[in-house]
Amino acid sequence: MKPQITLLIVGLLAIPVLGLMIYRAASAPLPDGFPQPTPNGKIEVKQYPAYRSGTYTHKGKLSQAANESFRPLYQHISSNGIGMTAPVEARYPSITLQESPNGKPDEVGNAEVSFLYRNETVQPKQIAQGIKVENHPAVKVLSIGIRGPYTYMSYQENLERLRAWLAQHPSYVVSGLPRRFFYDSPFIPDPFKRSEVQVPIK
């Protein structure tokens, strides 16, 4: 076999290995007691423990909530020496639970975006204007795992899948606001980004 072909094969085999290394290196730890991310395409019922967060309220296009909230939240944890965890949480208004078969990429409202603290003992010494520290109770959710870009259309499409599941399982009812978990940093290529769409249930 020619040396050039051998090098090409070795290079192609190294790409997924390198991608996996970057994937692991860029992933922050989960908050204490949090379950592992739901696998891509799987729908499951999950139980989350109580947790604490620093939260910023975004007002405007819901599709921009996570991006526009990142800077004030990152400044908050940086100024307080708080370690980054994953996922980042975005809680969307109840209007997004309504069916939107044609999609509404410019849907507006208030979304609460949170950086989650590692545990409930974390207490920031300084809290900037626009940031609030919240304690969240334990919650049971219906979750779907997603692999791919963090688009608002992806949120809507997967929320529709959860609605369809709930229609087939009437023993469960929605008991709170829908949310999305974003697990990976911007350095992860879009096809490998992990997220979940969840609705609280009882």
Residue of 193, 88, 186 lying closest to 147 (CA atoms): 193
Model confidence pLDDT, tens digit, residues 146-201: 999 999 999 999 999 999 999 999 999 999 999 999 999 888 999 999 999 999 99
Q: What is the pLDDT of residue 186?
A: 82
Cβ–Cβ under 8 Å, residues 87 and 36: no
d(CA 79, CA 63): 27
Surface-to-core class of residue 191, CB atoms within 10 Å of its CB (0-12 exposed, 13-18 middle, 19+ buried): exposed
81 alpha-carbon distance from chain centroid: 22
pLDDT digit string (tens) for 76-106?
A: 999 999 999 999 999 999 999 887 655 566 7
Buried b / exposed e over 49-66, threshold 16 CB at 10 Å, is eebbbbbbebeebbbebb
Instruction: Check if the beta carbon of residue 109 is closer than 8 Å to that of residue 62.
Output: yes
Say what the pLDDT of residue 185 is: 86
pLDDT category of residue 27 using cuts at 50, 70 and 90: low
Mean pLDDT of all residues in the chain? 88
Question: 77 with 54: CB under 8 angstroms?
Answer: yes
Burial of 15 (C-beta count, 10 Å sphere; 0-12/13-18/19+):
exposed
Q: Tell me the percentage of the chain whose pLDDT exceeds 90.
A: 79
Q: Give the separation between CA 47 and CA 67, rounded to whole angstroms.
A: 27
Give the pLDDT score at 137. Answer: 97
Give the whole-angstrom CA distance, residue 145 versus residue 139: 18
Residue bearing tokens 């390198």: 18
Question: Tell me, what's the pLDDT at 17?
Answer: 45
**DSSP per-residue letters across 65-107:** HHHHHHHHHHHHHHHTTPPP-S-EEEEPPGGGGS--TT--TT-
Rounded to an integer, the average pLDDT of 59-88 is 96
In the predicted model, is pLDDT for residue 18 greater than 50?
no
